Amino acid sequence: MTEDERIERFEAAYNRIDRALSEMTDSRDPDRRKTFAARVRHAANRYRRLRRHVDFLLEIGDLRNAIIHNRLGDGHYIAVPHESTVTELEEIERVMFSPEKVIPRFQRHVRTLEADATIADAWELVRHDGYSRYPVYERGTFIGMLTANGFARWCAAQAKDGRINVDGRTVLIRDVLPIDHRRDFVAFASAESAIEDVAEMFRDNPRLEAVIVTPHGRLNERPVGLICPADVLTATR
């Protein structure tokens, strides 16, 4: 591939990214009409998936200015991007601006518990499907996540002389949930969220147990998917 062809690819990818950044910026926001660098920073503040590419995109902006504004004449340029730079820019465009959404990849029936359900109900769910995390709802609103760790902590709190003698039919989930120290290690995402954005949520908060997916990312909506750290690790390799 000639240098001219490589520059054409570079400029085409840059222009598509610049247009996408403008669309990501509110039309009333002054950053929309500012520099490429300002749009990159603004978009990165709103979209997690852009954050780790900010430095590269800022350098791309400088390189593009050098190419466009410092031509030497006769088709010669003061700088020519390396093939690996062009390839990386095109890959960022693909991943960042045409990202795969969490739905349908992670769409599934999510087993949930009501706050007034009993521990016996929860045990039956665990026995049946073997999951280790159950979103808990009260009057249609999420109030916490019951985890396998929470089960273990509650059982340990009931033990006397090495034995547990509890009627699980008399203990409510709402009574067990406060003992689960991981009950609040949960985040929400909308069905339109990009997988990479959810991956960034886990990177930003290593203690995060799960991301619950609902139609609009709200606590008072029923889940349409549940994503754990291992899920996004596999999806973003």
User: What does the pLDDT look like over 38-60, one tens digit per residue?
Assistant: 999 988 888 878 888 999 999 99
Pick the CATH number of 104-235 from 3.40.50.150, 3.10.580.10, 3.40.50.970, 3.30.450.40: 3.10.580.10
Give Cα separations from 207 to 41, 51, 115 (angstroms): 27, 20, 24
pLDDT for 75: 60
pLDDT for 196: 85
Taking a C-beta distance cutoff of 8 angstroms, is the pair 92, 56 a contact?
yes
Distance of CA 163 to the CA centre of its chain: 42
Instruction: Give the residues across from 53 on adjacent strands.
Output: none
**Beta pairing class for 141-147 and 133-138:** antiparallel
What is the rounded distance in angstroms from the CA atom of residue 229 to the CA atom of residue 12? 35
Smallest Cα–Cα separation from 6: which of 54, 72, 63, 62?
63
Query: In a 3-state reduction of DSSP, which class is residue 169?
Result: helix
Residues of the chain with pLDDT under 70: 25-33, 70-76, 235-237
Taking a C-beta distance cutoff of 8 angstroms, is the pair 1, 10 a contact?
no
pLDDT for 12: 94
pLDDT for 99: 80
Paired tokens of 227 = 């994503």
Taking a C-beta distance cutoff of 8 angstroms, is the pair 4, 10 a contact?
no
pLDDT for 62: 93
Letter string b/e over residues 172-181, b meaning 16 or more CB atoms within 10 A of that residue's CB: ebbebbebbe
Smallest Cα–Cα separation from 187: which of 132, 231, 227?
227
What is the rounded distance in angstroms from the CA atom of residue 200 to the CA atom of residue 205? 8
As a 3-state breakdown, the chain gives helix, strand, coil percent values, each rounded to 5, of 55, 15, 30
Taking a C-beta distance cutoff of 8 angstroms, is the pair 191, 214 a contact?
yes
What ranges in 108-194 are assigned the alpha helix state H? 119-129, 148-158, 173-176
